[in-house]
Every structure is written in structure tokens, then in C-alpha cells.
Amino acid sequence: MSEQPDNPFETPSPKGIRIVQATLRVVVAIQCWGYAAGHLHHGKQFALLEILRKGGKFPDAKIALFEDYTAYFLIACGVVSLFRPMWAMLIPLGAFQVGTAIGVILAQKGLLPYLEVMNQAVRMTVPTALLMVDFWPPRVKPTLAFCLSSIKMLRLATATTFFGHGMLVLYQYQAGGEFVEIIGRTARNVFHYPITRGHAQMVLVIIGIAEIALALNLMTSRNRMIAFVMATWGLFLAASYTLAYGQYGYDRTLIRIANCGAPLTVLLFWMKAIQEQKPIILPEIEDVG
């Protein structure tokens, strides 16, 4: 009986895929609720719809009503994604994230909006990554090909986000900006230690260089410690908005939860599905004659 060629789309699911699915479900849900909270609780406007408002072709009342509907839709998407993700919601969520990035680029000029889009890479990626490993309906088995593609996508997005954030931090070291304020507020609120603007800027240099180094390491190696550090640091970065601004920053913390969730998902997959082999030292083959 002749052997059939292996079909990458019919291979068994890798070990640990349930943990990957659960982690991505939580990340997508929290992210949705963060966007909704920003609008419903703090009155923030969605970036893409703000472009429509500036265009002047739609009445402000209709745009405001559509923003309310979008916020309620995001709440529903979060609930559904947490318990039973479906492509009919994950695809619009991905489009919403891409639209938000387009809105950032159209609203500003220069290099900064493109760095901000890089900073949002994980937010744009997690809905698609979840779709690839948890497709429904109909239920599609998360085969090895889909799982590896999802993890590679998350790995690239995480590196892009950290690289973009690191570049933004280094820019604000010279030009100043919100990051300087966040460091100062966090130091006062958490550690009860006021720091000067100069010290905050020096901290930004260290953070920026470290984030760029982490991004490069994640793309060039499968180092679990690097992924763990990025997940931990991503959680702190997300939490820093709440630590600095209290209830006025919690929505931004929820939106940025993917900064932690994406590298954590990669780490969990590496720990569960990949078994590292000890290196084998090969002897030199000597010529006999």
C-alpha cells in the first residue's frame, strides 16, 4: 500500500491548543470591553469615525448614534468571544482594528502615526489569530498548519509592537510627551516618590532601548525567558495607564491587554507544544589513507 503525502491541513492539533484558545478569547474580550468603556464611560470617539466627523458629510448626531451602536456591538463581541467565538464577529473586529489604525494615519502627518500603528500591531492581530485556531461555524479543527501560522503571526505582531513602542519612547525622550507624564504619575501614585522630568526622560531611554532589544530577540530566537519578560512588561505597560490616571485610564489598560496576552500566548504554546532537544556534538570525520 503506497504512502499518502502528508497534508498539513489534516494533521492533529498540537498539544496545548486549548490554552492558546482560552488565552486569546480572554484577550479579545477584554480588548473589546476596553474600547466600549472608553466611549461609554469617558466619551472618547473612535478614531475612524472621527475622520467621518471631520469630513463633514455626515451629521454629528448620526455619527454619535453610530458610535453608541459600535460600543454596544463591542460589548456583545466581548461576551461572545469569551464563550464561543465566531467568524461573523471576529472578522468585523479585525476590520475595526485596521480601521482604527487607518484613522490614526489619516488624522496625523509625519512618522509618528506610523510608529503608533506599529504600536497597535498586537491589537490588530489577536482577532485573526483567534479565528485561525478557533474557527466556528462550522467548527474547523485547529490543525498544525493553522496553529503555527497563528503563533507566528502573534510573534511578529508582538515584536512589531515592542519595536514601535520603543521608538515612540525614544522620540518622547527628546520631544517630551505623555510617556514622561505617565512615568511621573506612576512614581508618585505607586511608589510615593516624585521624580523630575529629567529623570523620567532617562528612564525612557532605558525602556526604549530594552524594548527594541526584546523585539529583535523575539524574532531571532525561541527564548522562553524573552517571551516571559515581554509578557510581564506588556502587562505593566498596560497597567501603567490605570496606575497613572486611575479610573480615567482603566479603559486604555483594557485596550492594551494584548501587549501582555500576545507574548503570553506564544510562551504557553512554546512550553506546551514544543519539546526542546539537547544539542548533539558531531565528531570530525577523519580521512583514512
C-beta separation of 12 from 149 below 8 A: no
pLDDT at 23: 97
Instruction: List phi, psi (to 5°) of 176.
Output: 80, 170
Question: What is the rounded average pLDDT of the residues 30-38?
Answer: 97
Q: How confident is the model at residue 151 (pLDDT cuts 50, 70, 90)?
A: very high
pTM as predicted: 0.91
C-beta separation of 154 from 266 below 8 A: yes
pLDDT at 5: 47
C-beta separation of 190 from 243 below 8 A: yes
Q: Which residue has the cell 519612547?
A: 169
CA distance to 72, 88, 157, 158, 196, per residue, from 262 (Å): 25, 22, 8, 6, 33
Of 264 and 109, the one with more pLDDT: 264
Question: What is the rounded average pLDDT of the residues 197-214?
Answer: 93
What is the grid cell recorded at 224? 522562553
CA distance to 103, 170, 189, 254, 277, per residue, from 19 (Å): 33, 35, 35, 20, 23
Q: Please state, for a pLDDT cut of 90, what percent of the chain lies above it.
A: 67
Look at residue 1 and tell me whether its pLDDT is greater than 60. Answer: no
Q: How many residues make up the chain in this entry?
A: 289
